[in-house]
Structure formats: structure tokens, C-alpha cells
Structure 1
Amino acid sequence: MHVLHIVDSYGGTEVYKNLFMALDSLGIKQTIFVPLNASNHNRIGNHLIDFQVSGSKIIYSTALKSYHKFLYQFKISTILKVITSYINIDEIDLIHAATLCVNGAVAHELNKRYRIPYICAVRNTDMELYYKYFRWRINYFFKIFKGASQVIFICPQYQRKFVQERVPFVYKKNAEKKVVNIPNGVDPLFLNDRVLDLPNLSGAIHIIFASAFVKGKGLKEIILAIAMLRDKGYNIDIRAVGRGLPFRNENKKYLQEIETIANQYDWVHLENYMNKRDLKMLFRESHIFVMPSKPETFGLVYVEALTQNLPIVYAKGQGFDGYFSEGYVGYHVEAFNVVDIANKIELIITEYDDIVERIARIDLKEQFSWGKIAQKYYNIYKSIVGK
């Protein structure tokens, strides 16, 4: 079986690399085509893979220019032209598109020309960018959805929202058969080294945040929420990790604002980006993970925090919301709502012992190991190619 992956954001997050390596271990031949946007050319060569399956490869394209982001159809046709020039389409059994509206559009056009089946994922960029700001293309987006053999949602929230709001009523029953929820996996560094001890909250309460210092992650609101709790008498500090995270576009003005606020409080500690091994050790020194991120497709870091037995605070209606019942591993909040963030942190403190005991009982490997997830994709591939 030879799968063509179309993934324009390869080289940023390690999610795709981990999936492709896991599929490689199952013996699947893969061609990974990466049509980089103009601002992402520095990703070339990042997350290279030592494939075990002969003939598997990564192909980068820098054909897209900055103006392509405004010219949707021209962008799709440009990617198509490069793919058909560099890849022998006759060798491809299945196309796996990383997004619906762009990568999926290319897969859809290849399907129309060559009758190659395709699957695609729906991600944050589809829901929060293309469906919002390219509304005149919504009918075309539905054609992509309808033409796919399977549509993958990384989180249950986006799956429900998409079927309810983006699928015509007459097609909803068919749509529910087509969609499937498959989460991203978590690095074995975390899954294979879990903390199952039940900590207590004697002394200072250490909160940790781990992400790029960008507005959508809610770091400013977290700091203000903790200030409210400290005014109520709670001894809480925060360590925020992620300044300078590679391949993330930090806003200098926002970063300066965060640093200005942090300088006002001796209980706020800002840390530069660190490797996962060091982050894991920092998790073990912490009590609660807080990141009310919006928008958020999934949020691997939530599961990484759970492996170290940390209760979590996450954004309502975003990627991680819905994987566990409310209150089971933590609480969702209205993103950027300082009072709600403070209230939910306080609620976790009140219920801390019960929450960490529940987290310790969860089989996270069964849900979030790349081996299990790759097997799900492999089964989907076989069911489609075998038809």
C-alpha cells in the first residue's frame, strides 16, 4: 500500500512525524508532500524520518508565495501542478490530507482526475480560518467533505460542531457514518514514564503553563486569575514555559505585555522553551496545569500533563473539551475569562485529592499511544483500498 500524505504544516509540531513513523513501522509506503507556505520555508529539513519502508520519502515544495493566501483557487492549482510534476500518481493507492480546506481540496481534485480515494482531517485552521473567512467557498468545502472516503476529527467537540453547523440536514445521517474521532498521540517519553503517586497540596501551590507566549493561549488571563486567588489568601505561583518556542510566531507587543505583568509579581516565573525531558521534570514539581487555549485543535500538552498526574484547566468548546467528563480530570473555562479561570482553579484545589486519584486510574496508553492510533489509520486505509 502506497499512501500520499499532503500536509502543508509539516516541520512545525512533531505530531505528523510521530504518526508517519508509526505508520512506517506497520509497513506502509509513504510519500509525504509538503507544500510550505511562504512564511514556513525555514521548516525544510525539520523532523526528518529514517524510513524503514523502501521508497518512502518527504518532498518539500516552496512554490507557494505570500500572495497565495489571498488567492484560494490559485493556491490549490499551484499545489496540484507541483504534485503531478514530482510524484508518479499511478503508484498512489490512497491520499491522506492533513486538512480539509486546503490539503483536502488538492486531494479532491486529484480524486476527480485520477479516481484515487482520499481521506482528510478537519483541524482548527479549517474551522477558524477557512469556514469563517472564505464563506463563498463553503459549498466547495462540502464537496471535499462529501467526496472523502473518511473524515477524521482530532477532537469530539469539532466533530459535533461540524456535523451540526456545516453539513446540510439532508446529508447528516450519511455524514455521521463518514466521520470518526481519532486523537493525536503522545510522546512515549511521557506515556512510558507516568507518575501515579498521589501528591498533596501542602505548602505553596505550583501552577504550570507550557506553550508559546501568544495571545490565544491565555497566559495573561491566567496570571490575572492567580492574582485574584492570591488576594483571597491562596499561596499560588506560576511557571510559564515556552518563550521562544521554535516555529511559532510570537507577537513582540504581547510578549512585552506579559513580561511587564510578570515583573510586577515575584510569584510569576517566565521560562524559555525547553525540551520535553526537562518539561516532564518540571511537570513533576507542579500541581495544576492551566492553558485555556482558543482556538485549539487538540492540545497534546494536556495529555502530557495528565501522564504526570496533573489536573488540568482547558478552554470550553475547544480541542480537549469532551475527551473526559467535566470535572473528571479538571475543568473547562470560558477562554480569556479571568473570573472563570480563577473559579475553576479554586474548584480543582478543593477537589484535588479526588481528581488526581481518578487521573492515576486512566489507561492513557490505550487512548493516546501512537502505536494504537497508527493501527486505527491502517485499518481505515485497508478498508478503503480494499474496496
Structure 2
Amino acid sequence: MKVVHVSGDFPDTIASFKTPVIKTLVDLTNQDFAHEVFSINRSPTGAFGLSVATLRGNGWPRLTVSSEPFEYGLAISYNAPGRGIFHKSMLDQLGRALANHVISRGEKPDLIIGHKLTIEGLIVSAMSKALGVPYALSIQGDTDTKILQVRRDLKGTFRKIWREARVIFPFSPWSYEAIRSSLGEPGGSVVMLPCATDLDEPMRPVAKGDGLVSVFHLKNWRRKNLNGIAQAVRTMSVNGNAPTVSIIGGGDAKERDACKAIIGDVPGITLVGAVNHPHLKTRMNAATAFILPSRRESFGMVFIEALFAGLPIIYPKGTAVDGYFDNAPFALSVDANSPASIASAMQDTIDNEKSLKRTLAEWQCSADAKRFTRAEIGKTFAKSISGALGGKS
């Protein structure tokens, strides 16, 4: 069975440093299906270019597309203005252009998958209509909820796309609930699909860790809420309980200086720098707990990596992995906007480290933990695609 993926988050020859999440899904199931990827890259249109393109398009900007083959399919560059201007019209045009490309080759896919509702969903909906082929969607909570909130004028369009998808793959429970509450029940099946990481071999927790640890690239310090961590530690230091917090992640001099300014004179917080991915798990295993109270996060693979590395996690309520660990004592949710909430969770992981790690060690051997492994995610993805098309493979 041939599956075409449309994704703006796929490493290609135009932008090689995108997240590998969708690429991993393709790699995990390349023995099950013939995959082809249309990896899309938006090229911004300036004000002058936009006005000229609008005149040429009789009121709508005319799409221009260029492409180049790469290992997984086509790397595509298309012009479109920023800030969501002509959002639907440009993506509709792109969908029709991609459908025409497929038609010109004379071989239709069995399924098209758009890897976000509010961007790629518009593209695959147009492709589906032109080709007469069903489509599926993955849901990335950060982008999808943000665009749904901003583009309320397109709510009806998004609802139609949501309901016509053959299968929905939310990365996390919270994102599904957020979109369902806005758009209603989907028409197709829903399959939770965690993001896969290669650090999914469990390491037994150590009895006594050497402090808390967080992992993020320093350029993302606002989004990852370094300020919230610093304020929480400052609050704890008033009573002489300041923990040590190691921040693992690379960054240039400017980014590092910005983080140092946020930390200021708060005791115990150290910028460790980058750690090679193969060694990250060992470094995390030596800690007491993992903390990342992000302000926005579609999933956050690092939370799963921390759990398999033997660390209790502190995660932001209403985002990231929220909904997966509601009854797990080793996963503590916090209000990312409340330093007091963050501080309370940090103290909890310190005071109850032994018991939290004991229950985590039990979880690592469970079926629930298995669902987050690469092998199981690949099986779930393949089975769901095949099932959506009546068992065809």
C-alpha cells in the first residue's frame, strides 16, 4: 500500500534540521508500506511581492512552487505570506498542485496523511478531493491549538477537515481533547500516537540522585520557562531548601548570556552545556528528577527519555505529555505560570525520591511503558493505517 505524507516538519535538502518525529514514523514502518514524503517549506512573501501576486491572481495571491527530489520524496518550497494571511487560499492551491503532480505520474496513493490539522490538513483535504483518496491527520497540539484560536474564521473549514479524516493520530491526550472541545467529535477513528525516541531502553533508577536536571536548547529559554524554574528555586532558597538544577543544552554566547541574566544570583542552577545524545540518558540517570515546565509543548520526547532513564518527571499541566500519566505518582504536573506550583513539585521529588523511583521502576516493566517504545509505536501506526483502509496492506 502506498502512503503519501505531507509534512512541514520533515528534514529535507531545503531545511535539514527539522524535528525527526515524522521521519521516525516513516522509518519505523517502511517495511509495511511504500512511503513518499512531500516535505513542505514556506518561503515568505514580502509586501511588494504579495501585492503583485494578488493582482496576477485576480484578487488572490498566485502560488509559486519549486521542488527537488530527496531520499524520501520531494522537498517543496512554496511562497506564502506570514501571519496567516491568505492561509487557506495558499494551502488549497498547494494541495491542488500536489494532486496534479500525482495525477501526472498516473499512480494514486492509497492514503494521504497530513501531519497537522491546521496547515497540512488544508493541503491533504484539497488533494483528497482532487484524487478521490482518503486522508488521515496527525495532531500536533502546540501549532494546531494556536492556529485554531487565532483563525476562528476558519473554524468551519477545520471542523469539516477534522470530521472527514479517516483516522486521527493525536500525539497526546490533551491535544485531542482541546481540539475535540473546539470542533466536536471526529468522523474517523482516533489512535493516540506518542512521539518515538531512540532512548527507549529502560535504565533502573538510582537510589539517590545528584539534583534536578532539565534539557533544552538555550535558544528556547522563554518557551521552556527557565524564568519559572529560576523563580521556583529562588522561592525554595528563602527557607534554605534550594536544590541544584543542571540545565543541559547547547546555545551560542548570546543565548547563554540571556540565560545567565535570567538565573542571576539564584543559587544552585548551572548551565552544563550540550551533551551528546547517546550520553544524555546516562547523565539523566544520575539525577534526582527531571523538570521542564514548558509554556507550550506539543509532546516533548525528552519527558519519555527521562522516564526510561529512571527519572521522575515534572511536566506542565495542559500540554506536553499531559493525559498519559494522570495516575502515576512519578509524573508531577505543575502550573507553568506558578513558581509556587513548580517549587512544590521540585520539593516533592526531593522529599519522596525513593518511593517515586520505586514506582517508576515498576512502570518501566509495564505494558504502559511499552507503548512509548519505537517498536510499539511503529506497530500501532502500521496497524491503524491498515485498519483505516479495511485491512489492506
Structure 1 position 66, deviation (Å): 4.5
The answer as to whether partners of 1:97 and 1:103 remain within 8 angstroms in 2 is yes
**2:213 aligned to which of 198, 208, 212:** 208
Match of 2:207 among 196, 199, 202: 199
Q: Is the 1:35–1:79 Cα contact (8 Å) retained in structure 2?
A: no
Contact 1:94/1:116 (8 A) holds in 2: yes
Q: Distance in 2 between matches of 1:29 and 1:81?
A: 22
Contact 1:94/1:118 (CA < 8 Å) preserved in 2? yes
Which stretch has the larger CA shift, 222-231 or 58-67?
58-67
1:63 counterpart = 2:78:
yes
- Match for residue 303 of structure 2? 302
- Deviation string 1:178-202 (CA, Å, 9 cap, x unpaired) is 3222211221xx222x22144125x
Partner residue in 2 for 1:264: 265
In the TM superposition, residue 148 of structure 1 has moved relative to its aligned partner by: 0.5
1:81 deviation in Å? 4.6
Are 1:151 and 2:165 counterparts?
Answer: no
Q: How does 1:109-128 map to 2 (within 5 A)?
A: 109-128=126-145
Secondary structure at the counterpart of residue 211 of structure 2: strand
**What secondary structure is seen at the aligned counterpart in 1 of 2:181?**
helix
The 2-side partners of 1:345 and 1:89 are apart by 58
Q: 1:240 to 1:198 in 2, by over 3 A?
A: closer
- Match of 1:90, SS state, is coil
What SS does the corresponding residue of 1:368 show, helix, strand or coil?
coil
Is residue 225 of structure 1 aligned with residue 269 of structure 2? Answer: no
Instruction: Answer yes or no: is 1:345 the counterpart of 2:346.
Output: yes
CA distances 1:80-112 after superposition (whole Å, capped 9, x unpaired): 254235433633110111111111111111111
Q: State how many pairs are aligned.
A: 355
| Residue in 2 that maps onto 1:166 | 183
Q: How does 1:96-111 map to 2 (within 5 A)?
A: 96-111=113-128
| Residues 1-387 of structure 1 aligned to structure 2 (within 5 Å) | 1-11=1-11, 12-24=18-30, 26-38=31-43, 57-67=72-82, 69-87=84-102, 88=105, 90-167=107-184, 172=185, 175=186, 178-187=189-198, 190-192=199-201, 194-200=202-208, 205-213=210-218, 214=220, 215-234=222-241, 236-244=243-251, 256-265=257-266, 267-362=268-363, 363=366, 366-386=370-390
Whether contact under 8 Å (1:64, 1:78) holds in the other structure is no
For the structure 1 residues 333 and 376, does the alpha-carbon distance in structure 2 shift closer, same or farther, using more than 3 Å as the test? same
Q: Partners in 1 of 2:78 and 2:182 — Cα distance? A: 34
- C-alpha contact 2:4 2:36 (8 A) present in aligned 1: yes
Structure 2: where are the runs of 5+ without partners?
12-17, 45-66
CA 1:27/1:127 → structure 2, altered by over 3 Å: closer, same or farther? closer
Cα distance in 2 between the residues matched to 1:89 and 1:233: 71
> Alpha carbons of 1:344 and 1:209: their partners in 2 closer, same or farther (altered >3 Å)?
same
Q: Give deviations 1:226-250, integer Å, cap 9, x for gaps.
A: 12223222252111122339xxxx9
Summarize the Cα distance change of 1:176–1:312 in structure 2 as closer, same or farther, 3 Å threshold: farther
Asked if the contact 2:205–2:311 (Cα under 8 Å) also holds between the matched residues in 1, the reply is no
**Does the 8 A contact of 1:4 with 1:95 survive in 2?**
yes
> Structure 1 residues 327 and 344, CA, compared in 2 at 3 Å: closer, same or farther?
farther
2:145 aligns to what SS in structure 1? helix
Q: Would the aligned equivalents of 1:63 and 1:78 in 2 still touch at CA under 8 Å?
A: no
CA contact (8 A) 2:125 2:161 kept: yes
Aligned alpha-carbon RMSD (Å): 2.6
Displacement after TM superposition at 1:142 (Å): 0.5
TM-score, structure 1 length as denominator?
A: 0.84
Equivalence for 1:54: none
Distance in 1 between residues matched to 2:257 and 2:153, nearest whole Å:
38
CA contact (8 A) 2:330 2:356 kept: yes
User: Shift of residue 303 of structure 1?
Assistant: 0.7
Give the distance between the partners of 1:199 and 1:285, measured in 2 at CA.
Answer: 9
Query: Is contact 1:35–1:64 with CA below 8 Å preserved after alignment?
Result: no
Q: Where has structure 1 moved over 6 Å in runs of 4 or more?
A: none
Write the letter of the residue equivalent to 2:160. Answer: K
Rounded to whole Å, the distance in 2 between the matches of 1:266 and 1:229 is 10
Contact residue 243 and residue 270 of structure 1 kept, 8 A: no
How far apart are residue 65 of structure 1 and its match? 4.2
- In the TM superposition, residue 265 of structure 1 has moved relative to its aligned partner by 4.4
- 2:63 aligned residue: none
Deviations 1:236-271 (A, max 9, x none): 2111122339xxxx9x6x864422133534622213
- The equivalent residue for 1:53 is none
Structure 1: how far apart are the matches of 2:318 and 2:205?
A: 30
Higher mean alpha-carbon deviation, 360-369 vs 117-126, is at: 360-369
Q: Within 2, Cα distance between the matches of 1:256 and 1:344?
A: 28
| Offset of residue 352 of structure 1 | 1.5
Q: CA deviation at 1:332?
A: 0.5
CA distance in 1 between partners of 2:118 and 2:106 (Å): 21
Aligned residue identity for 2:228: E
**Alignment gaps of 5+ in structure 1:** 50-56
- In structure 2, how many angstroms separate the alpha carbons of the residues matched to 1:258 and 1:93? 48
Q: Distance in 2 between matches of 1:255 and 1:198?
A: 30
Specify whether residues 263 and 126 from structure 1 end up closer, same or farther in structure 2 by C-alpha distance, changes over 3 A only.
Answer: closer
